[in-house]
Structure 1
Amino acid sequence: MTYQSFHQKYRPQTFAELVGQNAIAQILTHAIEQSRIAPAYLFCGSRGTGKTSSARILAKSLNCLQADRPTPNPCGVCEACQAISQGNALDVIEIDAASNTGVENVRNLIERAQFAPVQLRMKIFVLDEAHMLSTSATSALLKTLEEPPEQVVFILATTEPHNLLPTIVSRCQRYDFRRIKLEPMVKHLATIANQEQLTIDDSALNLISRLSQGGLRDAETLLEQLSLFGSTITTEQIWESVGAVPDEHLVDWAESLLLPQVSSTETLLVQMQQLFQQGQEPIAIVQGLLRLLKDLQIAQTLPHSPKLSSVMPEIWQRLTNMNSINCIRLAEVRSQLRQAEFQLCQTSQPTLFLECLILDLIAIPALGAPAQINHSLLDLTTTWQQTLNQLSVNHRPIFRQAQLVQCSSKGATIRFRAASFLNLATNYQSEIEQALSQVLAYHVPVQLCT
């Protein structure tokens, strides 16, 4: 028998088997039971959330030969159900709109829709990636969508509904497929692992589910890939397979950057070299750090809300235990990493760039305690961004190397990363003072420092 990938082998065959889309399954089930079948449907949502699977289930429900009318529970064994599942039913036409974008392709489709079904009860047209149709092709489809021939149903599937013409959307019943939640995805993966006789613990299943970011097909594909390691799957194999930096290493980095009294500079540099020697991409390191620093701030402000984060319970515990974190320094480090993410894509030496960035971050002196700040961190960050927007385009790059660390009616303090930027900025102190005063709506003296 031909090998089937996991996402094909375990594709849902009925609405009851559809993972994580209970509302959509319930609505379509009731529509079939009440014989209220729309002439056109629009299934939209991110990849791997069940759009094409739902289209096939709907096609089987409308054409199952075991019932004398449409049924929400197709048998899956009759000739019609088998043909639809295998993709060779004459009256269920799946079209990849990305490769059939022209108006001539749509005219051929409309012409085929005029003929009665050859084999089944109803003729179903499934247009995948419908947003890829050209404007002229979409316009040609409008009338047919509004008043299709009897016994014809159109199902449009897309990941980008905002790129469809409003006139198309208004002619369809729209169903938005949400990203799959963590719990049903873990349960589904556990079922597959049991069927495939794989040994995998809950932490590894949770990690696969989190890495897939709500895409069930991505999770199934990753699990299939990991099964090639052997019958036992570990979290270490998962991190190695996806090429991401393990959260344990990222927490070590965060401690070194934010709590210098805990880890030395030498420790951080050794950790960085180890990751490079393991083949980790600099952009993956920066993106991982940004994600972890976001989770760190959540852990510091909402320690009893681990579900708001994207980390495992043991990592969450480490984040909540990182006391004495300076929120201003955390914001500074995160800001520099956000800028570096874009710059890494432009440089020809990303490893060297990241090494220099980390050394610069280590060299940034610890800022004052939060209690000394008159505004909240959010206010300072927002105020500073608005101030930068008031500056001339030529002077903004200089002041982007600084941070507004204190602001009150008595004065404001702007701290630069290095003395070289401070020397340049002193020539434009009056301009930054005027820009900040304009944002605050009152005059405030400005002090520049490093």
Structure 2
Amino acid sequence: MKAGLRREMIFCNSIFWGRLSAFAAFALSASGLVIQAAYAEENSFADKLTGQWGGWRTTLFNQGLDLEINDQNEFWGVPVGGSEPTQTYIGVTTAELSFNLKKLTGLTLGTLTISGVDIRGRPFSNKPLYVFNQVSGIEADDNLRLYEVSYDQKFYHDRLDVRVGKLDLSRDFMGSETAQNFLNASFSWPMLPDNNLYDQGPASPLATPAIRVKYQPSTRWSVFAAVGDDNPIGAGFINEGDPWNQNQDPSGTRFHFGTGTLMFLEAQYRRDDVAYPGTFKVGGFGDTGRFPDQASLEMRHKGNWALYGIADQMLAKFSDTQNLTVFVRATGTGLADRNQIVYAVDAGIVLNAPFRRANDSVGLGFGVGAPSGVLARSERRSHEIPQGNEYHLELTYQWQACPWLLIQPDIQGILSPSGGVVDDDGRRVHDEAIFGMHSSVSF
């Protein structure tokens, strides 16, 4: 092992057990002997807490087997705003087992992947915060569930990639690399599909039976297309007792076909400028299912669609590791009669490698979501407070304390939650100040 890497890992060990003892609940603890053994091993798994398992991990990987385990934990406090002050813990452990069938069999086959998630804690964005979108991307109902089952096969010198199975389509569509620095769920899976599609759409921790095709005609251009079931859970669109519907299929083993078909299409262009690279995406989705009217829940509309555009661009490069990047993402639909959110915009700026720390980042993000005008007019006729725009702000810092440990303090502000909605007691929900601490450990 290189001396610099050894010093970094020993330094990280002292920080983790010393300064971060107050946050020990954020990560699953391992014995000192296991940690020391992982440090002593000279391998390609130095970014894993458990190393290469005495050489077995590298052996299995070379034979075609790979196991990835990641544990995320978060504490959130909301001292101001919402319907009441709250403190919440949420966590998720993700395990993914991959079989490289080409290595295992010697045949020209692809990769089979199976993953599952253990979700813990109490969701808090619906109540008491009453926001359009979750405060955290890992916030979900408390379940141990199957996540993805997929087979991936490449053709034509890897220019064509086909993936089929139970898929999380947010991996390939509507995503921004720069936005992944933030914790608010709207930066990872936009507010518009989250509120308008069945079960919040096929995004973590949900997956849906689908096929995804990627074609790369050149190094700069890629085209993605997907067709799948539009209802990952298979339940009705509205469920007052279970708003996210995840408890209708707590194990994640239901493969539903019957509500409608969800289709995605996205084109990507990469600007390979040495100094200022960027990625630009345009796309849209269509859904053949039936959706409730925003003014009358008894009425249903056939079909749905939305369009989006995304830009990730480096603005300045100060050194090999330190740079300033921005992203902008806009989503919109013209069908106000069947969608709660008609347009949303997210944007942010991220400084990578602040304070000369190559793997750290600090980011400032902003977002807005606009509800349907049909819904607002219906609320006025009912003498209710009409919903307006919701705005969210986020300031976050990713501290790569060790190669296998990420600590992320986070501050968010929600202005006009759900556009000025009232809580169950008829009181208007106040603007919210939200403080969080996130940890991520790779095993």
Q: TM-score, normalised by structure 2?
A: 0.24
Rg larger in structure: 1
Q: TM-score, normalised by structure 1?
A: 0.24
Greater fraction of residues in helix: 1
Which has the bigger relative contact order, CA under 8 A and spacing at least 6? 2
